[in-house]
Amino acid sequence: MVDLERQQAVDLLCYNAEDTAERYNATNTFKLNKMIYIGKGAVLWSVKARKMMTVIDDTCGQHDTLAGCCSIEIDKVRYDVTNTQSCQANFEPELKKYGMGEKDIAANINF
Ligand SMILES: [Zn+2]
């Protein structure tokens, strides 16, 4: 991922392609990395406490896995807007391609 114009964010979901019930898990990632933010060297751990990905380099700084993704509902509360294209709305059609849906949206990483 390259942040071309700064101030950009990428919301990332991560699943095991062989078994999509195994997915990225923020709390296992906190516990096993012993840090709250994701950065260089951080391992992204699954719900089954298995390594899914490793951040091999990072020129941006720390990345958040606490705040989750935006949605139409939270944008209404935070910004009083109802007509934004949310990250959750972007996730849903992509997940549908793999037989998943809204219930499969786990905590994401905001790179
Ligand atoms: Zn968003």
DSSP for 14-51 reads -EETTEEEEEB-HHHHHHHHT-SSB-TT-EEEBTTS-E
Per-residue pLDDT of the chain (111 residues; tens, 9 = 90+): 888 887 788 999 999 999 999 999 999 999 999 999 999 999 999 999 999 999 999 988 889 998 899 999 999 999 999 888 899 999 999 999 999 999 999 889 999
| Within a domain: 5 | no
Give me ligand 1 centre to Cα 12, in Å.
Answer: 10
- The verdict on pTM exceeding 0.85 is yes
User: Residue 35 belongs to what domain range?
Assistant: 11-110
Query: How many CA atoms does the CB half-sphere of 28 hold within 13 Å?
Result: 17
Give me ligand 1 centre to Cα 50, in Å.
Answer: 27
Burial 77-86 (b: 16+ CB within 10 A, else e): eeeeeeeeeb
| Within a domain: 4 | no
Give me ligand 1 centre to Cα 74, in Å.
Answer: 10
Give me ligand 1 centre to Cα 78, in Å.
Answer: 12
Number of domains comprising the chain: 1
| Within a domain: 62 | yes
